[in-house]
Amino acid sequence: MTGTRDVRLPEGDEKRRAVRSLFDTISGRYDLVNRVMTIGMDAKWRRRAVAGLRLPGRALVVDLACGTGDLCTELQRNGYRVLGFDFSHGMLTSATTSAPVVEADVLRLPLRDAAADGATCGFALRNVVDLGAFFTEVGRVVRTGGRIALLDASEPDGSVMRAGHGVYFRHVVPRIGALLSDRDAYAYLPRSMAYLPAPAEMLAMLAGAGFPDAERRQLSGGITQLILGTRA
């Protein structure tokens, strides 16, 4: 995403600690707030991501930064074997999926090279400490011919949609968070969009990590982006 980086946002180890603490704090009501603030569209976005994998039945898919496991469950519904990873103990404690989940840093996955047929990630790209290192790690654990489907928030291209989205994301979302969960956490989440590089830069990073055909699709008018790719 283009724009001026908010200098108040943490970096490095400080970001790692802050993100873990944030998600531990909001884990108990995370799913509820997601349903409310996306008006239920998050379920549709997860279905689009899983459909984009196009892997054979019983393929092994790792869900990275799996949180409470909604994406894990959607993967299971589509016949995949699933293993989830997240470094927030609170989120994993609140997980509702029946898929196995592991507490681990997604930058250092406890998996051998080419262990997975595919990988997903739902709305966490801006929360990793080093996005380039994350893409490299995804490229390491996904086999040749495997697929990725990565979701995250986005800013619409159109000026009218962008303005409306900006008001909602920066002002309404924190108020919803304050009412249902934690004000500070949901004030941080809109600001964290500044961590995301421009779309072309992200696709170039993925190409360098072994996904030369990576493509970006805008969902729901551009408020969400879905990145798909095949491991070369």
DSSP per-residue letters across 35-51: HHHTTTHHHHHHHHHHH
- 198-212 mean pLDDT: 98
Give the residue among 223, 195, 230 at the shortest CA–CA distance from 1: 195
pTM of the model: 0.92
Please report, for the chain, the start and end positions of each structural domain, with discontinuous segments joined by +.
12-230
Of 31-40, 101-110, 146-155, 163-172, which range is least confident?
163-172
Residues 6+ apart with CB under 8 A from 110: 102, 104
Handedness of CA 33, 38, 43, 48 (dihedral sign): negative
DSSP code string of 134-171: HHHHHHHHEEEEEEEEEEEE---SSHHHHHHHHHIIII
Task: Count the alpha carbons within 13 Å of 155 in the hemisphere toward its beta carbon.
Answer: 19
Closest to 150 in 3D by CA, of 100, 67, 206, 107: 206
* pLDDT, tens only, 66-119: 999 999 999 999 999 999 999 999 999 999 999 999 999 999 999 999 999 999
Q: What confidence category does residue 170 fall into, taking pLDDT thresholds of 50, 70 and 90?
A: confident
What CA–CA distance (Å, rounded) separates 18 from 164?
29
Sign of CA dihedral 90, 225, 128, 193: negative
Let me know the angle formed at the C-alpha of 226 by 155 and 100, rounded to the nearest 5 degrees: 125
CA distance 131 to 148: 15
Please report which confidence band the pLDDT of residue 228 belongs to, taking 50, 70 and 90 as the band edges.
very high
Superfamily of domain 12-230: Vaccinia Virus protein VP39 (3.40.50.150)
Q: What is the rounded distance in angstroms from the CA atom of residue 127 to the CA atom of residue 113?
A: 24
Q: For residue 166, give both structure tokens.
A: 């900006």
Dist CA 35 CA 64 (whole Å): 20
Within 10 angstroms of residue 161's Cβ, the number of other Cβ atoms is 15
pLDDT at 91: 96
- Sign of the Cα torsion 33, 36, 41, 43 reads positive
